[in-house]
């Protein structure tokens, strides 16, 4: 049986895909029509961060309960998060190309932060694959997950606020600071955020069920 | 009782290190050789940004080599003995404290050799030394925990680098920024927030390491 929030997620994303293209947007210099990317780029990153957060919550649960199932969920959430990093990066690169004139720049702390976040989660998967014992793997991976998440959080959330960034809200370039996004855009942006986060939960739900079934099969 | 245990653990680390002088001497040679190679290949560094970047790259590799191997000597038997005999919190704190002291000395030595061979460009020496001190302590905190993780995962040296480099990056970028300010001799009012962040990171790293090590500890 399909749960109601899965239908809601599909409807919301469909709505934002259509109205994101058709709706009216403010005419801003440099950004022009690319401002529509805010409906896709930003919610995808929110979905990724949401999944990473989900993974960390289950890592903490794993350490307190020592239950293998929580470890499986934590791993699956990290995989889902990393999966969302790809479209997030692609939409970001495209947007950067048409507004800043380059696909990638090392000047921006958020871009660096994302690159490092991806490296951290790749390291997490390598760490997992290098330990054979299930119980041991669950514990050690959870420890690394928590530690790495805190460092990444510092990197993505705190450092960009200290230095100049090309991203809106940090530096001095035209963009959708609070006053730039008008109410028409908000009517699409907020549903888009909810829609993409729900979609990530949907993917996680499927992956999680599959992984738990495999785990059950291995136990028998 | 608690504190004396901790101090005796730190003492033990030092005794072990000095008993095996070859490792310490090896690190010293490593520092001098790396700095000498960079001095030879760069001849003369004119640009402060290059000076800074090179220094921190050397610093990072040295710290990974020094603090990174703090759990590498733990054989199965030793680990079991430590597990039965010590409190995990004291154990990791002693490792971190020892690494912090060692790295503080070694980073000063690196800076000394680096300014000797390559030439110093630092205008605000006090700020630079503060940056060096705080980042070396934060580095040793992170690397002690990473070394503990790597030692549980079959003691793989390349795994150590894979695990620690991305986690060290935020720290490194703050230190690079702060030391660049010190090199340019900027006012303290510009750089104090970076110093605050470094201190905060130190605190966070040590707190997390003591909390999390407990779970690594059990076999």
* Most confidently predicted of A46-55, A100-109, B119-128: A46-55
Is pLDDT larger for residue B185 or for residue A204?
A204
The stretch A48-68 carries a mean pLDDT of 90
Residue A109, domain member (yes or no): yes
The chain-wide mean pLDDT, for chain A, equals 81
Please tell me whether residue A9 adopts helix, strand or coil conformation. helix
- The pLDDT of residue B204 is above 70: yes
Residue A5, domain member (yes or no): no
* Distance of alpha carbon A183 from the chain centroid: 25
Q: Which of A110-113's residues contact partners 24+ apart within 8 Å by CB, and which partners? A: A110/A156, A110/A160, A110/A165, A110/A167, A110/A170, A112/A155, A112/B169, A112/B173, A113/A152, A113/A155, A113/A156, A113/A159, A113/A160
Is residue A171 very low, low, confident or very high in pLDDT (cuts 50, 70, 90)?
very low
| CB-CB under 8 Å, B201 with A126 | no
DSSP assigned state of A159: G
Residue A91, domain member (yes or no): yes
- The pLDDT of residue B127 is above 70: yes
Please tell me whether residue B124 adopts helix, strand or coil conformation. coil
Residue A2, domain member (yes or no): no
Tell me the percentage of chain B whose pLDDT exceeds 90.
23
Rounded to an integer, what distance in angstroms lies between the CA atom of residue B66 and that of residue A104? 34
Is residue B105 very low, low, confident or very high in pLDDT (cuts 50, 70, 90)?
very high
Query: Where do the domains of chain B lie?
Result: 2-217
Rounded to an integer, what distance in angstroms lies between the CA atom of residue A202 and that of residue A170? 33
Rounded to an integer, what distance in angstroms lies between the CA atom of residue A126 and that of residue B29? 32
Radius of gyration of chain A, Cα coordinates, nearest whole angstrom = 19
Query: A69: domain range?
Result: 37-213
The stretch B90-119 carries a mean pLDDT of 90
| CB-CB under 8 Å, A119 with B166 | yes
Residue A18, domain member (yes or no): no
Residue A220, domain member (yes or no): no
- Of the ranges A31-40, A117-126, B5-14, which one carries the lowest mean pLDDT score? A31-40
The chain-wide mean pLDDT, for chain B, equals 86
Q: For tokens 């597990």, name the residue.
A: B83
Nearest CB among B159, B173, B215 relative to A159 is that of B173
Residue A107, domain member (yes or no): yes
| CB-CB under 8 Å, B159 with A119 | no
- Rounded to a whole number of angstroms, the distance from the CA of B214 to the nearest CA of chain A is 10
Supply the pLDDT for residue A175.
45
The stretch B204-210 carries a mean pLDDT of 91
Nearest CB among B154, B193, B215 relative to A63 is that of B215
Contact criterion met (CB below 8 Å) for A149 and A56: yes
Is pLDDT larger for residue B152 or for residue B142?
B142
Number of domains in chain A: 1
| Minimum CA–CA partner of A141 in chain B | B149
Is the complex ipTM higher than 0.90? no
Supply the pLDDT for residue B215.
87
Supply the pLDDT for residue A41.
84
- Rounded to a whole number of angstroms, the distance from the CA of B216 to the nearest CA of chain A is 6
Rounded to an integer, what distance in angstroms lies between the CA atom of residue B132 and that of residue B189? 18
* Most confidently predicted of A75-79, A96-100, B155-159: A75-79
Is residue A165 very low, low, confident or very high in pLDDT (cuts 50, 70, 90)?
low
Is pLDDT larger for residue A73 or for residue A21?
A73
Supply the pLDDT for residue B81.
79
Is residue B216 very low, low, confident or very high in pLDDT (cuts 50, 70, 90)?
confident
The stretch B118-147 carries a mean pLDDT of 89
Nearest CB among B152, B171, B201 relative to A140 is that of B152
């Amino acid at each position: 049986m399909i749960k109601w929030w899965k239908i809601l997620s599909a409807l919301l994303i469909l709505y934002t895909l259509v109205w994101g293209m058709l709706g009216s947007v403010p005419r801003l210099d440099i950004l022009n029509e690319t401002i529509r990317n805010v409906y896709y780029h930003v919610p995808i990153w929110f979905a990724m961060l949401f999944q990473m957060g989900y993974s960390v919550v289950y890592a903490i649960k794993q350490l307190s309960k020592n239950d293998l199932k929580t470890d499986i969920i934590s791993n699956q959430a990290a995989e889902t998060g990393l999966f969302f990093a790809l479209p997030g990066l692609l939409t970001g690169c495209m947007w950067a190309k048409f507004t800043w004139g380059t696909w990638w720049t090392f000047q921006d702390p958020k871009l660096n932060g994302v690159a490092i976040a991806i490296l951290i989660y790749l390291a997490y998967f390598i760490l997992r694959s290098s330990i054979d014992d299930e119980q041991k793997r669950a514990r050690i991976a959870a420890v690394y997950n928590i530690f790495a998440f805190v460092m990444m959080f510092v990197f993505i959330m705190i450092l960009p606020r200290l230095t100049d960034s090309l991203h809106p809200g940090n530096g001095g370039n035209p963009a959708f600071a609070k006053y730039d996004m008008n109410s028409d855009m908000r009517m699409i942006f907020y549903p888009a955020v909810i829609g993409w986060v729900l979609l990530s939960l949907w993917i996680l739900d499927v992956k999680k069920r599959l992984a738990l079934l495999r785990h059950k099969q291995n136990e028998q | 009782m608690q504190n004396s245990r901790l101090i005796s653990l730190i003492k033990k680390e030092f005794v072990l290190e000095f008993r095996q002088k070859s490792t310490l001497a090896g690190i010293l040679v490593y520092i001098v050789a790396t700095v000498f190679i960079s001095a030879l290949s760069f001849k003369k560094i004119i640009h402060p940004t290059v000076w800074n970047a090179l220094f921190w790259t050397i610093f990072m590799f040295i710290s990974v080599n020094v603090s990174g191997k703090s759990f590498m000597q733990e054989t199965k038997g030793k680990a079991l003995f430590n597990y039965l005999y010590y409190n995990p919190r004291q154990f990791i704190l002693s490792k971190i404290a020892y690494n912090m002291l060692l790295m503080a000395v070694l980073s000063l030595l690196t800076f000394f050799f680096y300014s000797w061979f390559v030439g110093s460009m630092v205008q605000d020496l006090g700020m630079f030394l503060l940056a060096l001190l705080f980042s070396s302590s934060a580095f040793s905190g992170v690397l002690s925990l990473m070394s503990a993780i790597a030692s549980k995962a079959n003691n793989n040296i390349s795994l150590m680098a894979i695990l620690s480099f991305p986690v060290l990056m935020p720290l490194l970028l703050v230190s690079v920024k702060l030391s660049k300010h010190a090199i340019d001799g900027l006012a303290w009012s510009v750089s104090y927030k970076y110093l605050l962040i470094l201190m905060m990171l130190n605190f966070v790293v040590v707190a997390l390491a003591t909390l999390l090590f407990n779970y690594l500890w059990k076999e």
